[in-house]
Amino acid sequence: MTINNDQQYIDRVLKGDTNAYAFLVDSYKDMIYSMVLKMTNNREEAEEISQDTFIKGFQNLDKFKGESKFSTWLYKIAYRTCLDAIKKNKKHNNTYEINDITMNQIQSVETILQGIERQDRSRMMKECLNKLPSEERSLLWLFYFDELTLKEIIEVTNLSEANVKVKLHRARKRLLTVVKENVEPELINHYGRK
């Protein structure tokens, strides 16, 4: 959906056509839900927080001045709501130690991944991503899946540019560590079959 289109629907909602908001919800529900799910790692909670995000969005729609994309503005609300929920629940992820990464390691993991069928690879990557701490998981998701720019991520998370870059780098390294540990059994199987 284009920014102009978004603005048209926003204007309609602000003029009293509440049902026009359903178009905005339909357009962004998958994006918001996916990001929230990456942060919470719990479907029910993600659904609840996503709904809460859209309701808060509706209630504060008059405060949206169009300085950023509507999606970025929604992400910001979702991110804050998630942080509050995480604080309340105080769930802890099992964090993996980040090991030093070498070029060879990246290439060997890549080779193994290429040997796995796309669907299985996608499922495995999803599982690996879920093993990361929620903040790293959501940053990777926003940057690579939703393709938000650094500037947009800074706006959503309220972190400094340097901080976002450091956290992203750490997240990438941790992801590779997790994937490596998960593909190692595959690697043994792979060579065992040969």
What is the C-alpha to C-alpha distance for residues 139 and 171, in angstroms, rounded to an integer?
8
Reference 74, options 86, 84, 61, 87; nearest CA is 61
Binding residue for another protein (CB under 8 A) from 7, 11, 169, 188?
169
Binding residue for another protein (CB under 8 A) from 74, 176, 178, 183?
176
Asked whether position 118 contacts another protein by CB under 8 A, the answer is yes
Binding residue for another protein (CB under 8 A) from 2, 4, 15, 19?
19
Mark the segment that binds another protein (CB under 8 A) among 19-27, 69-77, 81-89, 154-162.
19-27
DSSP state of 69: -
Binding mask 64-103 for another protein (x = CB under 8 A): -------------------------------------xxx
Mind giving me the DSSP string for 91-150?
A: ----PPPPPPP-HHHHHHHHHHHHHS-HHHHHHHHHHHHHTS-HHHHHHHIIIIIS---H
Size of the site for another protein (CB under 8 A): 43
